[in-house]
Structure 1
Amino acid sequence: MVSNNGPAKVTWKATDGTADHGLDYVGHAGHVFFANGQSEGFIKIKIVDDKISESPETFKVTLVGAISPSTVDDPKTIVITIKDDDKPCHDQCGTNAVCNEAKHLCFCEKGFLGDPYKECHRPCYGKCLSNAKCNVNLNACECNKGLVGDGVNKCAPPCDGKCKDYKFSHCNFKTNKCECNPNYFGDPYTSGCKCSTSHY
């Protein structure tokens, strides 16, 4: 506040606290004018919107001098607090992602994969069967060793382990179907496998 018996001109100065001039606010000194009998005035200081989520920061404004016979009353210095209105990572993190405020970057939550700015998901979207595992590099389910299938709908022994029930047959691992052994013909699932050569 200012005590004056006529128009007054008062000098003010801003000094950094945790806020930095030029980065967080603009305007480090100036004058404020008071009409006769006016004891309060306003100082305009621009706050910089840096689009970065930060903790509250402060700077000081001090009234450093008034032209006589005016005087500056206590308090001569006040602390200005800049409260951040920017959301962490600009509120751009996707589903199952979190913001690292120190780096201003989004990351998938632990145990999740994907694009942290769109969607993070469990490896293979959590769809692998209990007898399958997720290939993280391919993000695809794979059956456990010794089993065949897509890892999502089915994992089973080759040819479902049925070829042993059909005489003279074996499992074709490429087609995952039973077929007759060499020199035998037929359908192991229906008519069975029969020898294609005659013995005398």
Structure 2
Amino acid sequence: MLLALIIAAEIGFWVLLALGLALRYLARMPRTGLAVLLCVPLLEVVLLVATAADLRDGGEPGWRHGLAAVYLGVTVTHGPHLVRWADARFAHRFADGPPPVRPPRYGSARAAHEWRLSARAIGAAAIAAGLLQAAIWYVGDAGDVAPLRAWQVRMRYVVGIAVVIALSYTLWPKRPPNGTADTRPPAASDADRETARH
């Protein structure tokens, strides 16, 4: 049941994202589209409540509860970025918005970009670990919490890998081939994109 709900939440995310952007740019109904996009976090609330209810009703803590915690952590830290990413491309394609700015490929700009990606991954791992700890406290001595603790250990690995990747781009920055310069402009902020769109 819980696994089916996780899958449904993932499908629901993409359905609401596509519907919200279609209403905003194709149907020219920006307020309605925004209202649909604002419903996306409700999926996370439903999954969180369902996970807690499953544990409350005597569900044995297992890998599905760990997966639910990880999914919630990832959607909290990556969901808003993904919505902005898709919005910029819809705006460019259907509303004469500016071309989406691609991330830098070389040098310190690329290293900074990798640290931002790592920060999101670390944030997701921290949220997941926190939710797992809350579940451990909630279950207490009533059940075997070893599967939940195993997921917490995996989150430490996620943090370590994220730091190593970002650090590698800092210590050994990627250089343009043949000494050519990276002429790509730095990534614009969301405010800059919104200003350029109007």
Smaller-chain TM-score bracket: under 0.3
**Which protein, 1 or 2, shows the higher relative CO under an 8 Å CA cutoff with sep ≥ 6?**
2
TM-score between the two structures when normalised by the length of structure 1: 0.23
- Give the structure with the higher percent strand: 1
Q: Considering only CA atoms, is the larger Rg found in Structure 1 or Structure 2? A: 1
